[in-house]
Amino acid sequence: RALAAALAPDPATGRRPYPSAGGCYAVSVHILVQDVEDLAPGVYTWDSPTGALAVREGAGAVDGGVAEVLRTTVIRPAEVQAVLLLTADMEVYGARYGERGYRYALLEAGHIGQNLTLALHLLDVASCPVGGFHDDRVSLLLHPGQPLRLPVYGVVLP
């Protein structure tokens, strides 16, 4: 429900509840599930246009799961239920905006992250935004062989 509230388009207008430079909408939301009721451990991707959560086919393997991707001393990986990982498709932003596209990707990811934390809060679900993750491991997990798909933001569900 939190993902739908934070990310799903308005049924009447088709507009998403966060801005994206030039309507690129090139930030993706993935979930690394460790211990969530009704979801098997693994990697999932949120499809905003359809409002569906799907198993991420072709995701790479990261031994150790959450402990391998987080780079922070504040959060204990063993206590984490899931990590929401946002990645930006810099091929899309770069083609349209050149170097400035990176800034727009960060802005879009920030808006999405804020929406997610607000929606989770309204559902009484604890969350913690993080920037401390291993970029190379997240990239290998979510987008193997796609160097222009960059991890830019994370939200931990402890």
Chunked into runs of 10 residues, the chain (158 residues) has average pLDDT values of 90 93 96 90 88 76 78 88 97 97 98 98 96 93 93 97
Burial class (CB in 10 A: 0-12, 13-18, 19+), 27: buried
pLDDT on residue 62: 58
**Residue labelled with tokens 């990811």:** 109
pLDDT on residue 31: 94
According to DSSP, residue 70 is labeled: B
pLDDT on residue 55: 87
Closest CA to 130 of 152, 103, 104, 108: 152
Q: How many independent structural domains does the chain possess?
A: 1
Print the domain residue range for 21: 2-157
Closest CA to 46 of 96, 15, 9, 98: 9
According to DSSP, residue 21 is labeled: G
**Alpha-carbon distances of 61 from 76, 90, 137, rounded to whole Å:** 21, 23, 9
pLDDT on residue 115: 97
pLDDT on residue 23: 94
| CATH code for the domain of 26 | 3.40.109.10
Phi, psi of 101 (to 5 degrees): -55, -35
Closest CA to 26 of 114, 127, 97: 97
